[in-house]
């Protein structure tokens, strides 16, 4: 099989199934486990690049579906490529648009060759295929790109999930080929292409999916198709079982988890990377992550609170404002409130994950987990 870019990844420590590692990309090193903030349209909503860095982000996401429609991948390329576009010189990962097949299902039609969408921007008919997704991702120029997959909802029947697995496998081969034909190069340098394991919470289908993708020899693998409405228990079992099927020396990416407990749960099961809109979205809705759990700042009980959100947190919100003031900013829909809480939640999560990494290095992850979550 044609050689394609493979950024060096090594696991430096393990603690049970949990791993600490280092991924070296051309634009910088990612210490894993690592949470990746999501910047769908080329911006992590409400968080300027320097604040993102201050919040501990090492690598950020962007979305191929959205950027290919607005402003268009050629425009992004012509404006200097995705890194300049986002004002972020660190590593970037683009999602393939596969998730939009799931989240925009009402307006999408899937067939073996690809997906026909109705653009959410102007209603125009759009066609996405594995080749098209790779081509768009090449033009965008992220460092890590994803195979175009099919992500069925938790309510899908086993047959539908099986069909999605087979389609995802076939599409992965086509993505792999399209990527290789371009020499693994995007408009702005080498790109590492990751495969995505599907299969819902069905052990046999997960296995089928993983084994098929292993044959395609990707430099890293994502666990997709989870966090789509299934129960936590089966989700975690599936994560553990899937991670166990993947090569130890390749990076593992759980797609779409961002609540503090969930993050520790997947780290415990051998995941290195994960992303989620939850911290930034809930922040925009007025909810802050704290060591004591989620805090809804809109609640009237905080009106007169003079305490910081989290006295230990170094973020702007916690250093500068009381809960009472933050509540005011949130309830009055002041932009600053959304920005501050977004920065805070990202800071909280990266500190949590950094702590987990340190604990894995010292072989004390179980104790660390207990300290944060209890039990």
Partner RNA sequence: GGGGGGAUGCCCGAGUGGCCAAAGGGAGCAGACUGUAAAUCUGUCGGCGCUGCCUACGGAGGUUCAAAUCCUCCUCCCCCCA
Annotated catalytic residue 106: no
DSSP string for 254-320 = ESS--SHHHHHHHHHTT--EEEESHHHHHHHTTEEEETTEEEETTSGGGTT--S-S-TT--SHHHHH
Residues 340-369 that bind RNA (CB under 7 A): none
**Structure tokens belonging to residue 133:** 């997704």
**Structure tokens belonging to residue 148:** 């175009």
Buried b (16+ CB within 10 A) or exposed e, 256-293: bbbbbebbbbbbbbbbbbbbbbbbbebbbebbbbbeee
152-191 footprint of RNA as x/- string (CB under 7 A): ----------------------------------------
> Using CB under 7 A, which of 7, 9, 35, 99 touches RNA?
99
- 116 forms beta bridges with 109, 127
| CA distances to 59, 207, 322, 346 from 221, in Å | 17, 13, 42, 24
> Using CB under 7 A, which of 186, 200, 258, 308 touches RNA?
258
Q: Which of 95, 149, 188, 265 is catalytic?
A: 95
The answer to whether residue 301 forms part of the interface with RNA (CB under 7 A) is yes
**Per the omega criterion (within 30 degrees of 0), is the bond before 228 cis?**
no
Q: Which stretch binds RNA (CB under 7 A): 71-79, 239-247, 270-278, 355-363?
A: 270-278
Annotated catalytic residue 265: no
The answer to whether residue 299 forms part of the interface with RNA (CB under 7 A) is yes
User: Whole-angstrom distance between the N-terminal and C-terminal Cα of the chain?
Assistant: 47
**Structure tokens belonging to residue 106:** 């009402």
Q: Which is nearer to RNA, 231 or 362 (CB)?
A: 231
Tell me, by CB under 7 A, how many residues bind RNA.
55
The answer to whether residue 242 forms part of the interface with RNA (CB under 7 A) is no
The answer to whether residue 44 forms part of the interface with RNA (CB under 7 A) is yes
Is residue 295 within 8 Å of residue 324, measured between CB atoms?
A: no
The answer to whether residue 70 forms part of the interface with RNA (CB under 7 A) is no
d(CA 186, CA 335): 36
The answer to whether residue 109 forms part of the interface with RNA (CB under 7 A) is no
Q: Which of 15, 149, 265, 275 is catalytic?
A: 275
The answer to whether residue 40 forms part of the interface with RNA (CB under 7 A) is yes
The answer to whether residue 114 forms part of the interface with RNA (CB under 7 A) is no
Q: Among 344, 347, 222, which Cα is nearest to 355's?
A: 347
Residues with active-site annotation = 95, 275
Binding site for RNA (CB under 7 A): 38-40, 44-45, 61, 63, 66, 95-96, 98-100, 102-104, 106-107, 120, 146, 149, 151, 196, 222, 224-225, 227-228, 255-259, 262, 275-278, 280-282, 284-287, 296, 298-301, 303, 331, 333, 335, 338
């Amino acid at each position: 099989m044609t050689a394609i870019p493979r950024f060096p990844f090594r696991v430096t420590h393990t603690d049970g199934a949990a791993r600490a590692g280092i991924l070296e990309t051309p634009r910088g090193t990612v210490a894993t486990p690592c949470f990746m903030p999501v910047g769908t349209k080329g911006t992590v909503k409400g968080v300027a690049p320097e604040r993102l860095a201050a919040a501990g982000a090492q690598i950020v996401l962007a979305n191929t579906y959205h950027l290919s429609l607005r402003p268009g991948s050629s425009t992004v390329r012509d404006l200097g490529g995705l890194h300049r576009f986002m004002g972020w010189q660190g590593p970037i990962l683009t999602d393939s648009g596969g998730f939009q097949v799931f989240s925009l299902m009402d307006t999408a039609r899937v067939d073996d060759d690809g997906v026909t969408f109705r653009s959410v921007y102007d209603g125009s008919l759009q066609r996405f295929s594995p080749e098209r997704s790779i081509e768009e991702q090449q033009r965008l120029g992220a460092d890590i790109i994803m195979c175009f997959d099919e992500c069925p909802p938790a309510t899908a029947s086993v047959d539908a999930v099986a069909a999605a697995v087979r389609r995802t496998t076939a599409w992965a081969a086509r993505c792999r080929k399209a990527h290789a034909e371009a020499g693994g190069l995007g408009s702005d340098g080498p790109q590492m292409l990751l495969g995505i394991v599907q299969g819902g919470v069905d052990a046999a289908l997960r296995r089928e999916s993983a084994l098929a993708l292993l044959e395609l020899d990707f430099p890293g693998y994502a666990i997709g198709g989870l966090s789509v409405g299934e129960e936590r228990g089966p989700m975690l079992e599936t994560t553990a079982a899937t991670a166990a099927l993947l090569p130890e020396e390749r990076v593992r990416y759980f797609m779409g988890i961002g609540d503090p407990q969930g993050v520790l749960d997947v780290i415990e099961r051998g995941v290195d990377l994960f992303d989620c809109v939850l911290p930034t979205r809930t922040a925009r809705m007025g909810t802050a992550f704290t060591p004591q759990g989620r805090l809804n700042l809109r609640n009237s009980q905080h009106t007169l609170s003079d305490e910081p959100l989290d006295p230990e947190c170094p973020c702007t919100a916690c250093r500068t404002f009381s809960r009472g003031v933050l509540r005011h900013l949130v309830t009055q829909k002041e932009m600053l409130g959304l920005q501050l809480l977004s920065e805070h939640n990202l800071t909280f999560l990266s500190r949590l994950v950094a702590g987990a990494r340190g604990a894995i290095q010292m072989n004390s992850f179980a104790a660390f987990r207990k300290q944060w979550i209890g039990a």
